[in-house]
Structure 1
Amino acid sequence: MSLITLTTDFGLKDHFVGAVKGAIYSELSDAVIVDITHHISPFNISETAYVLKNAYKSFPEGSIHIIGVDSELNEETNHIALKLDNHYFICPNNGVISMIASEIRPEKIVEINIHDRIESSFPVLDVFVKVACHLKRGGTLEVIGKEIFDYKIITDIQPIISNNNSKITGSVIYIDNYGNVITNISKKLFEKIGKGREFELLADRYPFKKIHSKYSDIVNFAIPKEDRHLDGARLAIFNSAGYVEIALYRSNLDTVGGASSLLGLRYRDQLTITFKDVDSNS
């Protein structure tokens, strides 16, 4: 069964989410709508891309994903609909799709052209909903737009490789609910560039010599629990999405704070991973 999902920066205080769902139900009374999130930071495309990339794969093939972040139609941003990995995405062409599309090539992309019949200051409601319902009824992409072969790419989603493949410069793309800092450096890229070499990860002024597989890797379970004193200890891990994450072990946001606040790491801040040369004696 295909579903319609919503990912927006609308929040839940205002009428926007309710209006979008109402419009879908008005066209398809038996639709199943799932909220991925409505708490994307306002206009934050990188954050949207990260959340969507790690959520959509859990839905059935054929699902239709409406993305309402920075979606106003203007001279620099058109609207697109695409089929990718047997899912449909309806979104502004502002780079939000580039994190997914960098790994999986879209099967088809169209530039939505039904704006000729609809004037709207709320395109998610007036345009994206109509496209989603058309696709849900079994309609094709060609009916709602002309095929295109390119899409905008956000450059800050891609890390930079330098120093003859000995350095990765990445950036913070997301701060999660625990205050953990997620970067755009994937485990796949780390292993491809690192080739098993020793390294130093530098996040602001904080160095890390190891990247763990899970949070509890830093615990020595042979030590009695009352003697461990690890709460708030900083660590780097490859998170469940396969990206380098800077975290504090069992941090309490109310008393201790998270990695973002305590280490002073914010969205778009840079961090580096420098690999030792295999011939280095240092």
Structure 2
Amino acid sequence: MSLITLTTDFGTKDHFVGAVKGAIYSELPDAKIVDITHHISPFSITETAYILKNTYKSFPKGTIHIIGVDSELSIENKHIALILDEHYFICPDNGLISMIASEVNPTRIFEINIHDRIESSFPVLDIFVKVATHIARGGSLSVIGKEIQSYKKTIEIQPKVNQAQTIISGGVIYIDNYGNVITNISKKIFNEIGKGRDFKITARRYTFDKILNKYNEIVNFDSNDIRQFDGNKLALFNSAGFIEIAIYRSNLKTVGGASSLLGLDYRDTVTVEFFNELKPEFTTLN
């Protein structure tokens, strides 16, 4: 049985997702289709990369991932199929793969060239499905295109470090269903640059000098009323290993989320500043 995942910005109101699934089943009646999400913000490759980077490894090797975000064919936005970490990805060559493949390089990459045989204004339905079902039947990638050695690179998901190794400059790459704000600053780079030093995280006018590992670490469970901690802001390393700014037990309909309450949005700057020894306000002059 073939396992095919779908990640798109189509939403679920219109017919697009249903049409893609119907086309897959027409080609492979025994296919297993898994929706990763169809609610990517329109054309957001950074959001797509974050979700897929933290999802695909949960699927078995050999899974085929169709990615329908910013997928219209153009000279600047070609279509590719590739093998990465023993998974297949079918997607536009718009920089998405360089974000997913920041730690693992693709094994083989092919530029899809079956467009001259299939005229389409809906490439996910007409092109990507054909490629996915071809792979699922055991077909070779060389049949659907020519092998290439490179793909479009983007460093948008990568934070910057200053020359003195004291400041990591990152930004917001994703806002989740709770309004929590995910940055592109990973625990790995935080530890590599920080080396245990004191630090200050700055996001707009808000600062944090502690990073939690769980949301409820902010709660004093000896308190008579633990509900008093609801709505408090915090920073933590989330399950994907990135610094996240959150509101404890946020509810977008009542308390609100970190994005709305702190005024943080996609691409807003978030920095981490490290101090060599003591924080400046505690140093003394001789």
Structure-2-length-normalised TM-score? 0.95
Task: Give the Cα separation in 2 of the matches to 1:143 and 1:227.
Answer: 61
Aligned to 1:274: 273
Residue 181 of structure 2 contacts residue 258 of structure 2 at CA under 8 Å; is this kept in 1?
yes
1:208 aligns with 2:208: yes
User: Which 4+ residue blocks in structure 1 deviate beyond 6 angstroms?
Assistant: none
Aligned to 2:259: 260
For 1:1-282, list aligned pairs within 5 A. Answer: 2-224=2-224, 226=225, 229-278=228-277, 282=283
How far residue 124 of structure 1 moved from its aligned partner, in angstroms, is 0.2
Identity of aligned residues (%): 70
Amino acid at match of 2:61: E
For residues 183-234 of structure 1, give each alpha carbon's deviation from its aligned partner in whole angstroms, at most 9, with x where no partner exists. 111111111111111100001110000111010111111222x255111100
For residues 67-92 of structure 1, give each alpha carbon's deviation from its aligned partner in whole angstroms, at most 9, with x where no partner exists. 00000000111001110111000000
Residue 82 of structure 2 contacts residue 89 of structure 2 at CA under 8 Å; is this kept in 1?
yes
Residue 198 of structure 2 contacts residue 278 of structure 2 at CA under 8 Å; is this kept in 1?
no
Task: Give the Cα separation in 1 of the matches to 2:79 and 2:279.
Answer: 51
Task: Give the Cα separation in 1 of the matches to 2:199 and 2:226.
Answer: 30
Give secondary structure in 2 for the equivalent of 1:114.
coil
Task: Give the Cα separation in 2 of the matches to 1:151 and 1:270.
Answer: 27
Task: Give the Cα separation in 2 of the matches to 1:2 and 1:247.
Answer: 38
Long gaps (5+) in structure 2: none
Question: RMSD over aligned Cα, in angstroms?
Answer: 1.3
Distance 1:27 1:228, change over 3 A: closer
Task: Give the Cα separation in 2 of the matches to 1:252 and 1:24.
Answer: 38
How far residue 153 of structure 1 moved from its aligned partner, in angstroms, is 2.2
Distance 1:192 1:72, change over 3 A: same
Residue 80 of structure 1 contacts residue 112 of structure 1 at CA under 8 Å; is this kept in 2?
yes
Residue 90 of structure 2 contacts residue 132 of structure 2 at CA under 8 Å; is this kept in 1?
yes
Amino acid at match of 2:87: H
Task: Give the Cα separation in 1 of the matches to 2:2 and 2:202.
Answer: 43
For residues 74-131 of structure 1, give each alpha carbon's deviation from its aligned partner in whole angstroms, at most 9, with x where no partner exists. 0111001110111000000011112221111111111111112111110000100000
Task: Give the Cα separation in 2 of the matches to 1:151 and 1:168.
Answer: 27
Task: Give the Cα separation in 1 of the matches to 2:215 and 2:53.
Answer: 22
Deviates more, 1:215-224 or 1:101-110: 215-224
- Aligned residue pair count: 281
Give secondary structure in 2 for the equivalent of 1:115.
coil
